[in-house]
Amino acid sequence: MPQREAEKSERTKNRASPGQKKTSSEEQANKELGWISVFREHRNAFLWVFLTFLVTFALFLISLVPAKVDLVVGQVAPMDVKATREGIDEFATKALIEKVLADVSEVWDSNPKVLEDTKALFQEMASKVQTLAETEELSTQYIINELRPYLDDSISDEDILAVVATSPIIIEESFDRAWSVVEEVLTRGLKPENVEKGKEEICAIIRTDKSIPDHVGRLFCAFVGKNLQPNLTLNKEETDKKIKMAIESVEPVKIRRGDYIVRRGDIVTEEQIAILEKMGMMGSSIRITEVLGALLSALIFCGFTAAYVGVYNTDLIEKKGIPLIASVVILSLV
């Protein structure tokens, strides 16, 4: 029982009486009337502050929003169009980068083992031809089977047999001259994409060498056709480094305020339209970013001005008055 009476007493204590509710409502009403009376008393000051902010916002918006033009690709420009702010000419910069990259040479690593292996195989074939020529009573099929692994299908069996039957002196001289051609091409360096051109070059030189019989020349071409390999490998890492350094060395082409983007009488290009769009000079609509930028600039400017006057020059408001201060602020922006 005592506990219930205590809880009842607590609820009674917490329950607001009609008189208390009325007092709270009156206090709220008095606060609202107080704000209204303050606004009425300083109405002119509030209006001047609002006007100052509005004019400041408008001036910043005008300065941030460039003059708009309405041009299309292929149109003859009816007037000069100048840049309203600084920017980067991405098209000119890209063209400059492409020009620089055209002069960047790729880095290729040479593999000397290719030349060594090719020479060893060539000498092995020469030795095989000499051995077959010196050995009597060999079947034609045996001779063909011995030499065919070194050659591609461009040479006939008859030419293979004719080579073995050729004078050893002519064979030796022909092999020396043919190898010098192959060695020269590989020493110069052969890229993977140029292997076919290398084969054609070697065969063309051999065919024009009158000291090499035609059937012997066809043997060399068949050997080259099957065994010539590239000895240059692209070093992608070093090449990429050179490309990166070349790109970094290019200074972006800048557009300065007042530079001509379009000259009167020019045929408007896609590049010019792209530059105008990036600078916000195309069309008639105002971008939300431009409005937000002007709003933020106005808030910062007015906020710092109000803070400075309120903290360091409080007497200025009483002596000069808000209208005069607002006028000075507006005129300073104009």
Q: How many domains does the chain have?
A: 2
Q: Which residues, including other chains, have CB under 8 Å from residue 59's CB and lie 6 or more apart?
A: 333, 334
The least confident of 85-89, 150-154, 204-208, 302-306 is 302-306
Query: pLDDT value at position 257?
Result: 79
CA distance 236 to 238: 6
Domain boundary among 172, 203, 234: 234
For residue 49, is it within any domain? yes
Give the model's confidence band at 21: pLDDT under 50 very low, under 70 low, under 90 confident, else very high.
very low
Dihedral Cα 287, 293, 299, 304, nearest 10 deg: -160
**Maximum C-alpha span of the chain:** 139
Q: What is the pLDDT of residue 301?
A: 72
End-of-domain residue from the set 169, 201, 234:
234
pLDDT at 298: 72
Indicate if 125 and 230 belong to the same structural domain.
Answer: yes
Q: Is the pLDDT of residue 93 over 60?
A: yes
Q: Give the Å distances, CA to CA, from 278 to 69, 274, 275.
A: 13, 6, 5
Both 150 and 213 in one domain: the answer is: yes
Residue 117 shares a structural domain with residue 178? yes
128 and 212 in a single domain? The answer is yes
The answer to the question of residue 172 being in a domain is yes
Give the chain's radius of gyration (CA, Å): 46
pLDDT at 48: 66
pLDDT at 333: 56
| 166 or 12: which leads in pLDDT | 166
Query: 54 and 144: one domain?
Result: no
Q: Please determine, for residue 2, whether its predicted confidence score (pLDDT) is greater than 50.
A: no
Tell me, yes or no, whether 206 lies in a domain.
yes
Is there a contact between 256 and 86 (Cβ–Cβ < 8 Å)? yes
Domain contains 72 = no
Q: Is residue 202 part of a domain?
A: yes
Q: In the structure, what pLDDT confidence band is assigned to residue 38 with cuts at 50, 70 and 90? A: very low
Distances (CA, A) of 30 to 23, 35, 102, 211: 10, 9, 80, 122
Res 314: pLDDT: 59
Domain boundary among 208, 234, 260: 234
Instruction: Flag whether 326 is in a domain.
Output: yes
Residue 155 in this model has a pLDDT that exceeds 80:
yes
Domain identity same for 225 and 139: yes
CB of 244 closer than 8 Å to CB of 100:
no
* Model confidence pLDDT, tens digit, residues 310-328: 665 555 555 455 555 555 5
Residue 254 covered by a domain:
no
- What average pLDDT does range 169-186 have in this prediction? 95
Segment 17-30 shows an average pLDDT of 52
Statement to judge: residues 142 and 215 lie in one domain: yes
> What integer is the mean pLDDT of 103-111?
92
Q: What is the pLDDT of residues 297-307, one digit of tens each?
A: 777 777 766 66
Residue 6 placed within a domain? no
Does 139 lie in the same domain as 224? yes
Do 31 and 115 lie in one domain? The reply is no
Regarding whether 224 and 162 lie in a shared domain, the answer is yes
Q: Does residue 112 share a domain with residue 230? A: yes
Domain that holds residue 324: 19-64+288-333
Residues 127 and 187 in one domain: yes
Closest CA to 75 of 316, 273, 307: 273
3-state secondary structure 236-303: HHHHHHHHHHHHHCCCCCEECCCCEEECCCCECCHHHHHHHHHCCCECCCCCHHHHHHHHHHHHHHHH
Q: Give me the pLDDT at residue 178, please.
A: 95
